[in-house]
Amino acid sequence: MNMKRYIGYMMMAAGALAVASCTDFSDYNDMSSGDQQGGDMTLWQNISSRSDLSDFAALVKRVGFDTELGNSRTYTVWAPVNGSFDKSVYDNMSDSLVLAQFVYNHVAQYSHGAIGVMPESSRIYTLNLKSYPFVGSPGAYTYDGVAVRTPNVGCMNGVLHLLEGKAEYKDNLYQYLDAVTGCDSIKSFFKRYDMTYLDQKNSVEGPVIEGKPTWVDSVMITENALAERLNVEMDNEDSTYVMLMPNDKAFLSMYNTISSYYNYRSQVTVLDPSALTSASGTNTKTSTKIDNAYLRDSLTRRFIVRDLFYSRNDSYNKWAEDMTPSALTLDTLRTTTREKLSNGLQLLAPSHRVEEVQLSNGTVYVVDTLPLKPDETYLPIIFNNASRNLAKWFATGTSTSAPKTVRVNDIRSDLVADPRIQLTSGQLSYVELVPSGTGSKTTTFYTLNGVRSTTYNFYLLMAPANVSQTDSTMNVDELLPNLVNATLYYTNANGASAVWNFDSTKPTTSARSHSDATAFTIPKDSISYTYLGQVNIPVCYAGLPTGETPVLKLESRITPRQSARLGYDATMRVMGIVMVPALWGDNHFIKL
């Protein structure tokens, strides 16, 4: 996002010309064949000589733009006649605002005549970089919806049109951040990402003084890294957005809620799977030292602003024009960061709006609450894919090569017994863990990414041997369940390494040690969603460097030699580990 600002109210059209190209303007750049009275005078001579433009002329002269309109550069001026606007409003404004919001709002580069039928797509880009429709047909031309009383007054340096009223100046999204009151929290967060620098290419250089260059006309460019990250062009007059702008009350409320799930420590001790030499190893490493307070504050604020912008050009958001959900998207909104929010009607509901403001590139709803769904925003359900998160595996203490990832393109939907599992495609993958010998057991370690500081319910997703359609002829009686132990390695509130042995008999208690009695029996003929237990994770890992995460260890209790005798399968087929914030209970869904 590049926001071009002109330094000082005397920054004339030379600067504006430098930052805009001919292709930005409509094709009506030739002097029209309309009313050519006054064609031997400049724009300023025509304006200043007309008694019905005395109010407009007074404001133009006050801010010093009369000189520019008397020069040779070509402009088009849409001048509101006396009595069609309240001049006293501008009498009480600063010169810089009168220039930017009123005079520049009615002036464009080049000659723009009213010729024939001008389609709805005809737009004018004014000197303040606003965009207005200049449309209509002979006798019925309008500029920003305002009737043109007298079109095509020819001048030596351009064209003059007389208007029945003024074009309504509106801030764009970025400008509104400076104008809005009661929203200092979000304003200050955006402003900290501003970077302003001199655009030497488009500035007019002056004399060198004491060995240093000076600038007659300075064009400053402001870039905002946060807006760029959010994929929103806040200053683009051709864009159209809806923005939810939390006032300070709403911002503080969301800040307190979100930050409670982002409790960091400056350093944490975690299990280091890469250093393990056996399945019973407990090698740890100390994480990179971080500024935990800064990281917590930064991520909290970013999660507040991440889902506030919605493009009206996005097909997902078309229903919001009349607040009538479509059959295809229902009331889903898609943000500029491509996040899908399923409670669009609730987000846009008038009940929590403090103010609605129409801007030049969209609409802002100032709100006193932000009804973001935690599971879709700052506290998501985490699915750790086994094939991507496998960090280490062993077979009876001897490290071996990585196991095989099996991709299935024809899932048997009849094997999905748990209603919380939703098949969104016919595909899935799992890690097949085959013991290397008749007396060996497989042990695997998985990194757990994106973990927040909250209490989680842990689930294990595993596939049966006959998960594919091509395996549907397998004799179910020959299939066997798995017997698995699970251990979590994480960090306690003091930053030290901690261990939780999941116990199939006590889901909220860590077992002293593992045995067959604490192991989990995995069904043989379904895509299983096995509840392992509930653990409070006191430290947040989201945003930390790769490898600084909790680790889950899975151990098969069965060797191939024991398989037939004990009635369990020695081969594991692990799809992933699911972590559901305990706040959601069983009311959640996993999409595969």
Could you tell me if 340 and 461 lie in one domain? no
**The pLDDT value given to residue 228:** 95
Degrees, nearest 5: CA angle 525-531-537 = 150
Could you tell me if 320 and 408 lie in one domain? no
Could you tell me if 409 and 353 lie in one domain? no
Within a domain: residue 181? Answer: no
CB 54 within 8 A of CB 82: yes
Start-to-end C-alpha separation, the chain: 37
Look at residues 548, 551, 544 and name the one whose alpha carbon lies nearest to residue 579. 551
Strand partners, 284: 271
Range of the domain at 529: 382-591
Within a domain: residue 169? Answer: no
Within a domain: residue 499? Answer: yes
Could you tell me if 281 and 303 lie in one domain? yes
**The pLDDT value given to residue 291:** 92
User: How far, in Å, are 39, 79, 278, 345, 371 from residue 352 at the CA level?
Assistant: 56, 40, 57, 12, 9
Could you tell me if 106 and 251 lie in one domain? no
Dihedral of the alpha carbons of 31, 34, 36, 42, in degrees to the nearest 10: -40
Within a domain: residue 174? Answer: no
How many C-beta atoms surround the C-beta of residue 216 within 10 A?
12
Quote the tokens at residue 401. Answer: 């090569």
Quote the tokens at residue 245. Answer: 């702008």
Could you tell me if 328 and 416 lie in one domain? no
**How, if at all, do strands 241-246 and 362-367 pair?**
parallel
Helices (H), ranges, 180-276: 184-191, 225-229, 248-259
Residue type, 104: Y
DSSP 286-341: EPPP--HHHHHHHHHHHHHHTTSEEETTSGGGGGGGTT--BTTTBT-EE-TT--EE
Burial annotation 166-175 (CB, 10 A radius, 16+ → b, else e): bbebbbbbbb
Within a domain: residue 155? Answer: yes
Within a domain: residue 222? Answer: no
Look at residues 216, 217, 199 and name the one whose alpha carbon lies nearest to residue 207. 216
Burial annotation 419-452 (CB, 10 A radius, 16+ → b, else e): eebeeeeeebbbbbbebeeeebbbbbbbbbbebb
Could you tell me if 18 and 86 lie in one domain? yes
Could you tell me if 393 and 367 lie in one domain? no
**The pLDDT value given to residue 154:** 93
DSSP 519-560: -EEEPSSS-EEEEEEEEE--S--TTSPTT-S-EEEEEE---H
* Residue where a domain stops, chosen among 133, 163, 193: 163
* Residue where a domain stops, chosen among 347, 373, 399: 373
Quote the tokens at residue 128. Answer: 């303040």
Could you tell me if 395 and 307 lie in one domain? no
Could you tell me if 414 and 501 lie in one domain? yes
Within a domain: residue 82? Answer: yes
Look at residues 343, 324, 327 and name the one whose alpha carbon lies nearest to residue 335. 343
> What's the CA gap between 343 and 310, in Å, rounded?
13
> What's the CA gap between 379 and 551, in Å, rounded?
19
How many C-beta atoms surround the C-beta of residue 494 within 10 A?
11
Question: Is the sign of the CA dihedral 86, 88, 90, 95 positive or negative?
Answer: positive
> What's the CA gap between 18 and 201, in Å, rounded?
8
Could you tell me if 498 and 571 lie in one domain? yes
Here the CATH number for the domain that contains residue 500 is: 2.60.120
Here the CATH number for the domain that contains residue 53 is: 2.30.180.10
**The pLDDT value given to residue 326:** 67
Who contacts 222 (Cβ-Cβ below 8 Å, separation ≥6)?
2, 3, 4, 5, 194, 195, 196
- Measure CA 538 to chain center: 27
Question: Is the sign of the CA dihedral 173, 174, 175, 181 positive or negative?
Answer: positive
* Residue where a domain stops, chosen among 163, 190, 216: 163
pLDDT per residue rounded down to tens, the chain (592 residues): 544 443 232 333 333 333 333 333 333 334 333 444 557 899 999 999 999 999 999 999 999 999 999 999 999 999 999 999 999 999 999 999 999 999 999 999 999 999 999 998 889 999 998 999 999 999 999 999 999 999 999 999 999 999 999 999 999 999 999 999 999 999 999 999 999 888 888 788 888 888 888 887 787 888 899 999 999 999 998 889 999 999 999 999 999 999 999 999 998 899 999 999 888 899 999 888 889 999 999 999 999 999 999 999 998 898 888 777 666 667 889 999 999 999 999 999 999 999 999 999 999 999 999 999 999 999 999 999 998 999 888 876 444 445 788 888 877 888 888 888 887 776 788 888 888 778 888 899 999 999 999 999 999 999 888 888 777 677 777 889 999 999 999 999 988 899 999 999 998 998 888 888 899 999 988 889 999 999 999 999 998 888 899 999 999 999 888 998 999 999 999 999 999 999 888 778 888 7
**The pLDDT value given to residue 103:** 97
Query: Quick one: 217 exposed, middle or buried, by C-beta within 10 A (0-12, 13-18, 19+)?
Result: buried
Could you tell me if 332 and 478 lie in one domain? no
**How many domains are contained in the chain?**
3
Quote the tokens at residue 5. Answer: 């600002």
Q: Which helix (H) or strand (E) holds 500?
A: strand 497-501
- Measure CA 368 to chain center: 21
